[in-house]
Amino acid sequence: MSDEKTSQFDGDRVAKVLARAGVCSRRDAERMVADGRIAVNGRRLDTPAFNVTSKDKITVDGKPIAEPDPPRMWRYHKPAGLVTTARDPQGRDTVFQKLPASLPRVNAIGRLDINTEGLLLLTNDGGMKRLLELPSTGWLRRYRVRAFGRADEAKLKELKHGITIDGVNYKSIEAMLERQQGGNVWLSMALREGKNREIKRVLEALDLKVNRLLRLSFGPFQLGQLEEGKVEEVPRRVLRQQLGKNWQSIIDGTVRGAGTDKNEAAAEAAKEAATEATPRSRSDAKRGKLRDTSEPLKVRTPKGKSASKKPGRNESQQAPKGRNFKASGAKPSAKVPSSRKGSSDARGRR
């Protein structure tokens, strides 16, 4: 079998490889191929429907592309007034225009509306983006909401059974009334589905008009004390812990697309929505389960140091700086009773 035939049918599409190398988006790569700017093994491509392997040499405008960076993730505190898109036809400011120049080319995991603030996850890896956006992942997203009107607590509780608005079905939503302040009401809300403008449309159906919306968390990743407009990278060790077995599929570039098995994805999402968010155990990691918890990530205290101060324990309870906005968090989980004296664990520590 010739090298040309191997490149044409094995490996990944050239646009995907260019995107992973940080050259451009897949759509832009297709345009570059059409403009005759991409060559493989010295031969100019005339179609983006061409697969390449690690043995092929790809050049852009005659220059070889760099090796792709390992998968990475960043937490970004998105301010209001920015759109989550690379290019806006209306000329509005975008998230990507405000990011530090030191960041590589990144994509947003999901979207936030122009007036929505808070946690936006960014990644340089298309596989990670697709995995975390799949319905089967079902990570819980928590929000604080300020809305104009008076809330009916009974109707808010009914949202846990889902709601249908104008023929659109919205799945279970956790909604809790915090307080009524003048003409506004403060709510805490959590959902897994994340359809376009879901919170605003659901609350409009309850005669509440949202005038401020802040995302506090996306799965195990918290906004915490990250200042507005700031970016902070998630440690690689934490990514491996949270993604479990799926981490290897991201490294290998074998993450399935959202349309590969819609029935399985829907079943997985329903199963995840029916269970409480619990920390991922070591056995869960081997099975590839994703950790989903409203509690901040816990850091083990080194031996010999006091465990009285636990970093990250109350992160979600502290408000992000700016505009007197107080974020409420979940209560700390109850302590698990220690095992009886003389157990195998205790003997091992001694």
Active site residues: 113
User: Could you say which DSSP state residue 94 is in?
Assistant: B
Instruction: For 96-138, give the DSSP string.
Output: GGSS-TTS-S-EEES---TTEEEEEEEES-HHHHHHHHSTTT-
* 31/23 Cα distance (integer angstroms): 13
Token pair for 165: 């608005």
13: burial class by Cβ within 10 Å (0-12, 13-18, 19+)?
middle
Provide the phi-psi class of 288: left if phi over 0, else alpha when psi is between -120 and 50, else beta.
left
Token pair for 92: 């509005």
In this structure, are strands 184-191 and 173-181 parallel, antiparallel, or unpaired? antiparallel
8 Å CB contact between 110 and 194: yes
* 89/25 Cα distance (integer angstroms): 17
* 283/244 Cα distance (integer angstroms): 10
* 289/22 Cα distance (integer angstroms): 29
Q: What are the distances in angstroms from CA 107 to CA 50, 72, 83, 123, 292? A: 23, 11, 13, 5, 22
Q: Is 281 helix (H, G, I), strand (E, B) or coil?
A: coil
Which amino acid is residue 154, in one-letter code?
A
8 Å CB contact between 81 and 75: no
